[in-house]
Structure 1
């Protein structure tokens, strides 16, 4: 198993991209809760413009300029089967919209597991791209976010502001 990483700047601070066996396995914010030990990031990538780092950087740049609403990247997420179900469901929350932890629990077929959904959401290893920031409390309020509530607010506000100016993705 080969793991390498690259750090890039973003409007929400430095992001560490971790790639394992050709797929994005981590996208971590500075001072993120549940941040794994840096020794799990592998060596720095010899060429930060190699794939898939270049594709991740390009798509993140397009996202942060409001030009991209759906990421299309090879992911290599590692978690429990329950976490994997939550992370998969997160990828289907539309850009600029939010769901509650309870709604997400219902979506994955575990209607009484909203707390467990919250825990799995908090362990999402690929922030922004797997949009855990789009999950809110039952009353619509901002609740915990591994990258901090300021970043969650920034991402949600940014998506809502740009949603009307972005062409919808064609399926």
Structure 2
């Protein structure tokens, strides 16, 4: 059983609607979970935010913190689903959103981090995605993309229930155990 603090971050992609189940699974594995969302993901989950905060015991954050709103230090970060925009912003160091700022800073702090994109096949054809995935991997981020991770679906045919959350949580556990 794992113990420690897991920062679970999500962008606005359909698998984000499963975040409560993912929190429950992580907590059953012994994690203290802190949930961070991109602003759009927070808007999508607006009606659930109070319940998610109660579930985790921490405020759900989608903006940079105010003084006094501090989470425990992360032992590992899981950023999933991570959209095309979030992956590219992170790789380029554009930290206009809270979660992208934390994961960018996490590289410098040496916090073990795993991300799993959620992009459709049309976005996957854009050369910047491969460049960004390579950049993040070169900086020590574990990117579950392709074999064994997320594989893009044709545009409009997403399968959010098939998103490989278990692989992402298992990878986070493994990174924490190695640290």
Q: TM-score, normalised by structure 2?
A: 0.30
After TM superposition, the score normalised by the length of structure 1 is 0.31
